[in-house]
Structure 1
Amino acid sequence: MPTLTPSAETEPRTESEKETETETKSAAVAGADTATGISADPTEADQLDVADALLTLLRDTDTEARPDSQLEALTLAVAADLPVLLWGEPGIGKTAALTQLAETLDLPLTTVIASVHEPSDFSGLPVLGDDPAEQGVPMAPPDWAVRLVRAGRGLLFLDELSTAPPAVQAALLRLVLERRIGTLRLPPGVRIVAAANPRSSAADGWELSPPLANRFVHLQWVHDHEVVVRGLGGTWPRATLPRLDARKLPEAVDFARRAVCGLLAARPGLVHRLPSGETRRGGAWPSPRSWETTLRLVAFATAADSSREVLSLLVRGTVGDGPGLELLASLDRMDLPDPETLLADPAGAVLPERGDLRQAVLDGVVAAVRGRPEKARWDAAWALLVRALDTGAPDLVVVPATTLATLRREDWDVPASIERLAGAVTLSRRADDAAVRSPLAAKAAR
C-alpha cells in the first residue's frame, strides 16, 4: 500500500474530483504541454504549480479486485463492527491500508495519534457550568468526536497505539468498548481501527495493557512483494465489504454458536486464560469477551463464505493461536459425516479428501463399532476401509484396520474384504520397521 500522511480528518475524493484537481493544476501552468501538463519553459512563479501538478499525477492510482486474505479479514471485522488492531513494522502500509479502506467504503477518515493526547482527551474535558453543585461538572468531548457524531458515520483510526502511555490506554478502554468519549456516544455508523508497532520497533513503546488488548481483533499486517510492486506501478488491491448471503444468516448464527459452545463445553479451561508473560498479555488471548467476539466473526465468515485462511486470521487474532487452532479443528470436525450414516451405506460413503479429516472419520467409525459391536456393523466398517483404500492414501487405513481387527468376536466370520487391506497394512509395517532400522544402521556404521 502507498504511504500517505494522515491528517486530522480526510474526506474521500471521488473520481471526478481527482480529474478536476489534475486539470486545474495543469491549467495553472502557463503554456503547459498537453501530454504532461508541464510548461516547456515555466517561470519561477510557476514552479510550485508544476510541482503540485506532478504530485497530483503521482497520487493518481487505480485499484483492482485481487485476493488478499489480510485485507479481507480487515473488512470482515469492520463489517462486524468490531475494533481491529493492525500490528506491523513501521512503513509496512498500515496507515495507507486504512486510508484506502475509507475511500472505498466512502467513509470520512478521522485519524487520532493516541500517543500525543492526554487521558482527558478520551475521557472528556471537565467544563464548569453555572452551578456545579447543582448541575455537576459535564465532561466535554474533543472536536473530532463531535464531528464524527454530526457526520453519523466514519472510520476512526487510532494510530501509534503502542506508544500511548498506560494512563492514555486506560482512558481508551471506554472508547474502544462502549464507544463513549465523555458524555458523547459515537453513532453505530462509526467503525474503530487502530494500528501499532511492536515494542521493539516503536518509538518509546509500551506493551498494551491486558484490558485494552482483549477488546481488539489483532491482525498481523505484513507486506506482499507482488502487491507492493504492482501498487507502486499504480494499481493497488481494492478493499470491499464482504457479501453476506441473507439466506444463510440464521444458519450462520446457529453454526457459530454450536462451534464455540461445543469447544468450550469440552475444554472449559479455554474460557478464560490470561497469559503469564507481559508481551503475550498485550495480544490476543481467550476470555468470555473475546469468545463472544469470535462467535460473531465465525457467523460473519460463514455468511460471507470466507476462506479458511481468512477465518484463521480472525479467530487466532481474537483468542490467540492455541485456542484459535483448537476452534478451527473443531469446525472441521463439525463438517465430518456421521459414523452411523457411513456404516448404513459404506458403498455410497463420501470421505473427506484431507488426510487428517479422513483419518478422524475412519477412527470415528471404528469407535462407533466398538460402542455397539455387531456383526453387520463390523462388516460395514471393513467395507468402508476398503473404500478409503481405493480413494485415498493406503497408510490412513492401517491404524483403523488394526483396531477394528481386535473387535472381532469368535463367531464372526472374517470378511473377504480384509484380504484387500492386508497388503497395505503389511507394507506400512515394513516401512515403519525400515524407518526404525535406518538410524540404527547408520549409528552402528559410525
Structure 2
Amino acid sequence: MNADDIPGKDPLAAADELVRRLQAPRTEQAADPQLEALALAVSANLPVLLWGEPGIGKSAGLRQLADSLGVPLETVIASVHEPSDFAGLPIVGDDPATTGVPMAPPDWAVRLTTAGRGLVFFDELSSAPPAVQAALLRVVLERRVGSLTLPEPVRVVAAANPPSSAADGWHLSPPLANRFVHLRWTHDPRTVARGMAGTWPAVSLPRVDPSRVPSAVARARGVIAGFLTARPGLTHSLPGDAESRGGAWPSPRTWEMALRLLAVGYATGADDKAVAAALIGAGGDGAGMELLTYLEQLDLPDPNRVLADPDAFALPARGDRQLAFLTAVVSAVQTDLTRRRWEAGWTVLAKAVDAGVPDIAARAAADLAALRDTDWAVPSGIDAFVDLLQLSGALPGGG
C-alpha cells in the first residue's frame, strides 16, 4: 500500500501545494512604462483598453494592479454575455405605471457597488458582437448597469485582441472605442524570463501630491488649449477605415481625457514614457505624437511662480505658446482665487498688450474678468481690455 491509498489522504494535496508555491512569486519595483501608463490612467479614473495578443499577461496585470490597490477585481467576459446583461433585465413591480419597470443589474455590479470601490475588467471585448458593444456604451461612459450606478471609485478596464487574432473578432464601434484610453500590451522577454525565475515587476499607483495640484491643473489646461489653437484640425478627426476607427483617435472627448492624464502626470511626477504612452492612447498615434512634440518645445513656466512675481517673467515669443501660457495663468488664478493673485493676472495680461498681441490675451482677459469679486477695484492692467470686456458683458459699463 502506498501513501496515496491511505484512507483520508488527498492524493492531490502535494500537487496543490506545489502549484501554490509556483503561484506566489515575489515582486520588485522596476521601470515598466506600460504598467505605469495603466496605473496613470486608472489613477485619472479613465476607462482603459489593453490591446494585445492572447496569452501575454493582460489579465495577470489587472490582478496585480487590483492586489496592489487592495480592491476587488470583477472579471466579465464580454463576448459570452447578452446586451441585457449590461442594460439590465426588466423586473415588473407592483405598479409599473407609477414606479416604472426597473432594470435589474448583474451580480458583479451589485458586488462592486456594495464594496464601494474596485476594478471591473471587461475581457475579450473585440469578440463581443456589435449589440453587446452598444450595451456597454452606457456602462463605460455613464457607469450605469441596469438601474444601478457604479460608485465613482470603481475603475473600468477592458482588454481586446486584434481582430485578426480574436475568436470571431469584430472591430470596435467608433462610439465605444472613443471612450477608452488605448494601451498596447506587449511582452518583454527579459521580464518574462525573470518572472519565470520567481520575480515580476510591481505595479504602484502614482500618488497625487496635493501641493502640485493647482499648478498641474493650470499647466495642463494651458498645454491642451494652446495645442488645439495651433492645430485646430486635430480637434476632431474620425479615421476613414474601420480598423482605425476602432482604436484611439482625436475628438473633444479624448482631448478631455488627455487633459486629465496630463494633469495627473504633472501632479504625480509620473515617468515621461508612461505619460507619453497614455497621451497617445487617448488621442491616437498621429495626434498624440504631435502633442508630445509640442510639449517638448513648449517649456511653460510655472504659472503660480509667475503670479507670485508677475513683473519678473518674459512672455513667450510664439502665439500658440503665449495662449497656452495665458490660459495656464488664468486657470491658476481660478484654482486659488485671491484679490492679490487676480490683480497679478492682469499684470501678466498687460505684458501681452505691451508685446503687441492684445488679441492673444483677449480670451484670457474675459475669463479673468469673470472671476472678479464685486468688492474688488478694477486694476490699471485692465485698461487695455475695457472696451472689449464691456462689449462682451464681462465688465459692466463704467468699470
TM-score, normalised to structure 1's length? Answer: 0.66
Matched residue pairs, number? 305
Q: Note the alpha carbon deviations across 1:44-70, whole angstroms, 9 max, x for none.
A: 443211111111111121110011100
- The DSSP-based 3-state class of the residue aligned with 2:12 is helix
- 1:225-240 maps to which residues of 2 (within 5 A)? 225-240=189-204
Cα-Cα RMSD: 2.1
- The DSSP-based 3-state class of the residue aligned with 1:47 is coil
Residue in structure 2 matching 1:241, options 205, 208, 232 = 205
- The DSSP-based 3-state class of the residue aligned with 1:298 is helix
Q: Note the alpha carbon deviations across 1:331-375, whole angstroms, 9 max, x for none.
A: 1222179997999xxxxxxxxxxxxxxxxxxxxxxxxxxx99xxx
- The DSSP-based 3-state class of the residue aligned with 1:200 is coil
Q: CA deviation at 1:42?
A: 2.9
Please name the residue that 2:369 is paired with. none
Residues in 2 aligned to 1:307 and 1:102: alpha-carbon distance in whole angstroms:
21
Q: Note the alpha carbon deviations across 1:114-157, whole angstroms, 9 max, x for none.
A: 01111011011001112223322111111111111111111101
Residue in structure 1 matching 2:182, options 187, 204, 218 = 218
- 1:16-415 maps to which residues of 2 (within 5 A)? 42-44=3-5, 45-335=9-299
Higher relative contact order (CA 8 A, sep 6+): 2
Residues in 2 aligned to 1:342 and 1:108: alpha-carbon distance in whole angstroms:
48
Residues in 2 aligned to 1:310 and 1:101: alpha-carbon distance in whole angstroms:
16
TM-score, normalised to structure 2's length? Answer: 0.73
Residues in 2 aligned to 1:177 and 1:291: alpha-carbon distance in whole angstroms:
15
Whether the 8 Å contact between 2:219 and 2:300 is mirrored in structure 1 is: no
Please name the residue that 2:384 is paired with. none
Amino acid at match of 2:57: G
1:342/1:100 Cα in 2 relative to 1: closer, same or farther (>3 Å)?
A: closer
Amino acid at match of 2:105: P
Residues in 2 aligned to 1:177 and 1:299: alpha-carbon distance in whole angstroms:
20
Gaps of 5+ in 2: 302-311, 318-354, 357-399
- The DSSP-based 3-state class of the residue aligned with 2:67 is helix
1:206/1:342 Cα in 2 relative to 1: closer, same or farther (>3 Å)?
A: closer
Whether the 8 Å contact between 2:126 and 2:166 is mirrored in structure 1 is: yes
Q: CA deviation at 1:86?
A: 0.3
Residues in 1 aligned to 2:253 and 2:19: alpha-carbon distance in whole angstroms:
46
Larger mean CA deviation between 158-167 and 242-251 belongs to 242-251
- The DSSP-based 3-state class of the residue aligned with 1:247 is helix
Q: Note the alpha carbon deviations across 1:294-320, whole angstroms, 9 max, x for none.
A: 000000111112232112101111011
Gaps of 5+ in 1: 1-40, 344-370, 373-446
Residues in 1 aligned to 2:97 and 2:314: alpha-carbon distance in whole angstroms:
73
Q: Larger radius of gyration, structure 1 or 2?
A: 1
- The DSSP-based 3-state class of the residue aligned with 1:91 is coil
Q: CA deviation at 1:215?
A: 0.3
State the identity as a percent: 61
Whether the 8 Å contact between 2:46 and 2:180 is mirrored in structure 1 is: yes
Q: CA deviation at 1:243?
A: 2.4
